[in-house]
Amino acid sequence: MISVKNLEKAFGENKVLCGINQEIQKGEKVVIVGPSGSGKSTFLRCLNLLEVPTGGEIWFEGQNITDPKCDINRLRQKMGMVFQHFNLFPHLTVKKNITMAPVHLKLMSQKEADELAMQLLARVGLAEKADSYPAQLSGGQKQRIAIVRALAMKPDVMLFDEPTSALDPEMVGEVLQVMKQLADEGMTMVVVTHEMGFAREVATRVLFMDQGNVLEEAPPEEFFAHPKNARLQDFLSKVL
């Protein structure tokens, strides 16, 4: 579904991604872990061109999205993204946050979008917040709304950029719960996170990145029980 070929990204002299090759299949749940500054967020942000790669190719559903002629707005509709800092639109109500993009892009009528929004909100247990503004919500609630906002576009893949890193510890659970539910429903997911428990439980494959390279990839059982790379062993000994 997503195929990454020799992906490179540099900010000036600073090389952040040094040639990454990845195949992400439909239904996979890929979790990316690694120390800060390892390039994992940059990699994720390259997948929907929030960062424009400086080298290599990314193919999504048979189209080369790194080709300048490709209509990236169209492809982004099929890739949902959830951010560390939620990035809800503070001047719109929760319901408007969710329905704005699909209605504006004429994917559905306001009525259909409203119905879908209420249905999705009910699923994450926030139906009564439909007419609230983001400022009135807790961090965990905001992030669940942000997930719903991305889901309302009916994406084929969901990208999560450290979705729980900005949350109070007691709110992490409710967000991970929603993500697990999503995973169980078969959504293709790419998740950058520091939640090793989530990686172990939900991932079909775990990647370890450091200094712009994928140093190890394995199913979670193998990844956590028998890490081969020395850098990964060191990393796991610190975080587990």
Partner 1 sequence: MTWFTDIWNQFYETMIVDERYLQIFWGLGNTLTITIVAILIGTLIGTLVAMVKAKVFNPRNAVLKFIFKIFDIIGSIYLTVIRGTPMILQLMLMYYAILTNITNGVTVACIAFGINSGAYVAEVIRTGILSVDKGQMEAGRSLGLTQTTTMFKIIFPQALKNVLPALGNEFIALLKETSVAGYIGIHDLTKGSDIIRTVTYDSFTPLISAGLVYLVLVVGLTSLLGCFERRLRKSDIR
What is the binding site for partner 1 (CB under 8 A)?
48, 50, 68, 73-77, 79-81, 83, 85, 87-93, 100-101, 104-105, 133-136, 149-150, 153
Q: Which is nearer to partner 1, 100 or 127 (CB)?
A: 100
Q: Which is nearer to partner 1, 10 or 107 (CB)?
A: 107
Q: Which is nearer to partner 1, 73 or 237 (CB)?
A: 73
The residue written with tokens 């991970």 in the block is: 176
Cα–Cα distance for residue pair 130/136, rounded to 1 Å: 11
Measured from the CB of residue 135, what is the shortest distance to partner 1 in angstroms? 6
**Residue (of 61, 71, 53) closest to 9 by Cα position:** 53
Measured from the CB of residue 22, what is the shortest distance to partner 1 in angstroms? 20
Q: How many CB atoms lie within 10 A of CB 59?
A: 16
Measured from the CB of residue 225, what is the shortest distance to partner 1 in angstroms? 35
Helix (H) or strand (E) segment spanning residue 103 = helix 94-104
Token representation of residue 92? 């719109």
**Residue (of 12, 2, 65, 35) closest to 213 by Cα position:** 35
Measured from the CB of residue 196, what is the shortest distance to partner 1 in angstroms? 26
Q: Which is nearer to partner 1, 83 or 198 (CB)?
A: 83
Q: Are strands 205-210 and 213-218 parallel, antiparallel or unpaired?
A: antiparallel
Measured from the CB of residue 99, what is the shortest distance to partner 1 in angstroms? 11
Q: Which is nearer to partner 1, 92 or 196 (CB)?
A: 92
| Residue 59, helix vs strand vs coil | strand
